[in-house]
Amino acid sequence: MILPELSPFKMKPGSLKKLALVFLAIVFALVLVQLITAPYKVNKQWQGVNTENYDYEHPQDSLVRHLAYLRALDIGSTQDSIYLIISLPDSSVSIAINGVKFYSTHIDEYDIDNFLTSISTSTVFNQFQRPLHSKEVAATIIKEPIKVKIAPKNAEEAAKMVTLPDSTIFENAIINYATENGMLLTLEGSNTEGWFIQSWNQLIDRLTSITATAYRIVVGIVHFEIYEYQPELTIKIDNVALTSIYRALPKEPQIVIYF
Amino acid sequence: MVSFNKTTPDNTIADSLSLATSSELKAIEKRLVKLTPKSIYIVVNSTANEFYLIEGGVVVSQGKCSTGSYVLLKNGDLQQWIFKTPKGEFKILHKKKNPVWKKPDWAFIEEGLPVPGINHSSRFEYGVLGDYALSLGDGYLIHGTIYQRFIGLPVTHGCIRLNDENLALIYKKLNIGSKVYLF
């Protein structure tokens, strides 16, 4: 009689498959847990800085939100650099300095995270009663379209060096501001393309966003890091206005958000 | 039946809260209104190359202008100038009719010409700034131009150029001390 070889590394056929499935199930469960718990963690963090409590619902609700907005404007008015103001109730994006809103544009479209619309008035008040500092900025357009010109040696060389003025046609811009409280504010130039292209682009954007989130979570699990949820607010405005606003603001501007 | 006027402890707290909130709202609104310029002011968008003349919160006039070209002129390793319109809040400091342009060093270097003495006659050009100039400080002006076809394009050395008609209007409307918002 031949006895089977007793090796701790030898597995029955199909065991590897089962192990892989169990591993995938664990990863899936971890992803799910992270996805579900991350917003709660942000909510708790945002509530954590409570200084005043406003736990009343309508009609005080809108009054308190308005007060948070005005307080943020009031603090903003002490700044002598240009800051950004987003007001969803007014459908406007503005820039201001020393308390004076000197340029505004109309919001064509916006997409607000369910998280932001579901948090309590008290949390809104505590988070948005002051301008938020933007700690990271990413843009698809350049901030200053600088053209380097080397001084000509003589008048003849100068005559040959014709500098063409910068184009007045602006590329479609997307600007991302990551705020100090972990929010992601996206400003996008409104599309002038047709319905089909717009829908297609929206679908691609959504899929890219889902893939990026999934990738971040999986990489986080591999590196034993906790996924951090980023509440998002996406706003679409006229592209020339967006380019103008982006170029007017300092590198990491203060942002007042009212919703 | 639910009565909305019924006074309960909760309602009392809510009412006093509402009163406190309302009075704070009024106080902040008052402070913010005070900051808004009472007299006419001008806003210049250096990306779109447009200006807006605003009085009492209403745009009374708007049009095209020219602003800084964003050219960075380098003269060797030691000298460089960037021709961009500054951003922020400014005031009209001086107003002048028939201004004369005193060409700075970069104007000669840009043309490949030798830089003359500080008060040399070749530094003074007549008529190139149009009929009026309004000074914002640090050499930045709102002025006219003989190159009116470039109005609406970013071609200046940082100043704001207007066509004759708009320049005359702004000279007439803005006073010394009027606010100027550049962005």
B108 to chain A, any CB pair closer than 8 A? The answer is: no
Question: Which residues in B lie closer than 8 A to residue A103 (C-beta atoms)?
Answer: 43, 45, 181, 183
Does B146 have pLDDT greater than 50? yes
Token representation of residue B73: 């002129």
CA distance A55 to A34: 28
Closest chain B C-alpha to A95 CA, distance in angstroms: 9
Give buried/exposed letters for A92-113 (b at 16+ CB in 10 A, else e). Answer: bbbbbbbbbbbbbbebeebeeb
Chain A, nearest residue to B79 by Cα? A151
Cβ pair B181:A247 closer than 8 A: no
Question: Which residues in A lie closer than 8 A to residue B72 (C-beta atoms)?
Answer: 146-149
Does A213 have pLDDT greater than 60? yes
Global pTM reads 0.84
Question: Which residues in B lie closer than 8 A to residue A147 (C-beta atoms)?
Answer: 69-72
Chain A, nearest residue to B110 by Cα? A151
Question: Which residues in B lie closer than 8 A to residue A67 (C-beta atoms)?
Answer: 21, 24-25, 28
Chain B, nearest residue to A98 by Cα? B35
Chain A, nearest residue to B75 by Cα? A151
Question: Which residues in B lie closer than 8 A to residue A102 (C-beta atoms)?
Answer: 43, 181, 183
Using pLDDT thresholds of 50, 70 and 90, give the confidence band for residue B7: very low
| ipTM attached to this prediction | 0.87
Q: How far is CA A171 from CA A92, A167, A187, A241, in A?
A: 22, 10, 14, 12
A100 to chain B, any CB pair closer than 8 A? The answer is: yes
In the stretch 3-32 of chain B, residues with CB closer than 8 A to chain A read: 13-14, 17-18, 21-22, 24-25, 28-29, 31-32
Segment B75-131, tens digit of pLDDT: 988 899 999 999 999 999 999 999 999 999 999 999 999 999 999 999 999 999 999
A163 to chain B, any CB pair closer than 8 A? The answer is: yes
Segment B18-63, tens digit of pLDDT: 777 888 999 999 999 999 999 999 999 999 999 999 999 999 999 9
Cβ pair A147:B37 closer than 8 A: no
Chain A, nearest residue to B25 by Cα? A67
pLDDT, averaged across chain A: 86
Q: What is the pLDDT at residue A88?
A: 97
Q: Residue A142, Cβ neighbours under 10 Å: how many?
A: 12
Cβ pair B74:A151 closer than 8 A: yes
CA distance A63 to B144: 49
**In this structure, which amino acid lies at residue A174?**
I
Question: Mean pLDDT throughout A120-137?
Answer: 93
pLDDT, averaged across chain B: 91
Strand partners, B43: B52, B181
Nearest by CB to B28, from A70, A166, A248: name it. Answer: A70
Does B1 have pLDDT greater than 70? no
CA distance B139 to B106: 13
Q: What is the pLDDT at residue B170?
A: 97
Does A18 have pLDDT greater than 90? no
Cβ pair A71:B28 closer than 8 A: yes
Token representation of residue B83: 């021709």
In the stretch 74-103 of chain B, residues with CB closer than 8 A to chain A read: 74-76, 79, 82, 84, 87-89
Q: What are phi and psi of B155, to 5 degrees?
A: -130, 0
B55 to chain A, any CB pair closer than 8 A? The answer is: no
Phi/psi region, residue B70 (left: phi>0; alpha: psi -120 to 50; beta: rest), is: left
Question: Mean pLDDT throughout A235-248?
Answer: 96
